[in-house]
Amino acid sequence: MLRIHFGEVDLARTRIAVAPDPLWEIAASLHRIQSRRGRWAYAGWYRSVRQRLREKGLERVLRGVFLPLYPRAAYFPDFLTPADAVGDLDAGVESILATPEQRVLKEMAILDRTIGAPSWAGQLARLEARKEFVGMLRAYYDAVVAPYEEQAQARIEAERAQRSRGLLDGGVEGMLAGLGPMLRWRAPVLEVTYPKQADDRDLHLNGRGLTLVPSYFNWGEPVAFADPELPPVLWYSLLHEQSPPPETPQGAGAPDAPLITLLGRARALALSATSAGATTGEIARAAGVSASSASRHATALRDAGLVTTIRNGPAVLHTLTPAGASLLRAATQRTPG
């Protein structure tokens, strides 16, 4: 467990990122490739990612470079996900290139002690090797992460809307209290559930505040920098919809039968899809219906006071109201397991 200790100044300086962190999404997507956890939530992405990597000639780079540097383990090098990369891939790449040689060597040594670093890892201390590496990162991002930028941004907008509601009701402490099952606010400490292999540790903010970065590809594995001297940043999971794809049979995690009886299967799936915010297109995919049907379901749920709809650029974003959240939570609690 990570315990983040807040002071009054830290509460005032805590914020939620306005956009995804491209370099962290690269890391989190590589963790998804290494795990079956939450695979149903990324079913479409899983179907396409291998093909895209093959088409771009990145399969050998994936196996030989990325997976050894980004293990799904207690540690991977901090310099690969710089704090100033939120919403800006170019800025993040420049930070990687500007990393001092000694820091690269230090973090590669930590990786080696933790899980074992590849024999060539120390070469990344050289600027020319890092230039080649960031070229690979850009190619991977374009193939694997960039096609999902719109969905990721929509999710973060929905998350910010939900957290803003907590902020209005209870200040920053109210916002922190609603961050989800992996993050528990016990004033003045935010307790973060880390992967089992990670050691317990404490992070004292000491007036620096905390940047919270919702992550599209993170699945229940919140992460902060291992080095306590780096800017305090916490990446955490959006957890996506809490229902499986529409083809999953009842009894294997589909919406509870009473909720389906009340709303109908498609509308119950539509309601569940809005738990982390969803566009009309995302509702259509989650419920397995056409876009026009998804729009009608969203309108019916909005008229019933279960969802609210806001415009997000050219699209609209549907999120749960307190009544919708209560209904969905009650249905989830009724589901065995």
Dihedral, CA of residue 19, residue 25, residue 26 and residue 27, to nearest 10? 140
Q: pLDDT category, 165, cuts 50, 70, 90? A: confident
* Closest alpha carbon to 231 in 195, 206, 198: 206
Q: Smallest Cα–Cα separation from 129: which of 89, 69, 58, 63?
A: 69
99 C-beta neighbours (distance < 10 Å), count? 19
Taking only the tens place, the pLDDT of each residue in 11-50 is 999 999 888 899 999 999 999 999 887 777 787 788 889 8
User: H helices of 121-198, where?
Assistant: 127-140, 149-177
**CB contact burial 88-97 (16+ within 10 A = b; e otherwise):** ebeebbebbe
Indicate whether 135 pLDDT > 80.
Answer: yes
Q: How far is CA 49 from the centre of its chain?
A: 18
Instruction: Specify the pLDDT at position 161.
Output: 78
Q: What is the pLDDT of residue 23?
A: 95
Query: Which of 96-100, 138-142, 214-218 is the least confident region?
Result: 214-218
- CATH 1.10.10.10 positions along the chain are 257-334
How high does pLDDT run on average in the chain? Answer: 84
Of the pLDDT bands very low, low, confident and very high (cuts 50, 70, 90), residue 59 is very high
| Half-sphere exposure for 26 (CA within 13 Å, toward CB) | 27
Q: Dihedral sign, CA of 141, 144, 146, 150?
A: negative
Q: Specify the higher pLDDT residue, 97 or 331.
A: 97
Q: How far apart are CA 41 and CA 29, in angstroms?
A: 13
The amino acid at residue 181 is: P
Residue 136: closest CA among 64, 82, 79: 64
175-216 per-position pLDDT tens digit: 888 787 788 899 999 999 876 566 789 999 999 999 999 998
Note whether 91 and 23 are within 8 A (CB).
no
Question: How many C-beta atoms lie closer than 10 Å to residue 82's C-beta?
Answer: 23
Rounded Cα distance between 268 and 272, Å, is 6
The answer on pLDDT for 253 being more than 70 is no
Number of residues in the chain: 337
Residues 6+ apart with CB under 8 A from 281: 291, 294, 315
C-alpha distances in Å from residue 158, one per residue of 93, 123, 161, 293 = 27, 41, 5, 22
Reported confidence tier of residue 332, pLDDT bands at 50, 70, 90: low
Name the architecture of domain 257-334: Orthogonal Bundle (1.10)
Angle of the 89-98 helix axis to the 127-140 helix axis, nearest 10 = 160
The Cα angle at residue 180 between residues 30 and 175, in degrees rounded to 5: 115
State mean pLDDT over 272-291: 83
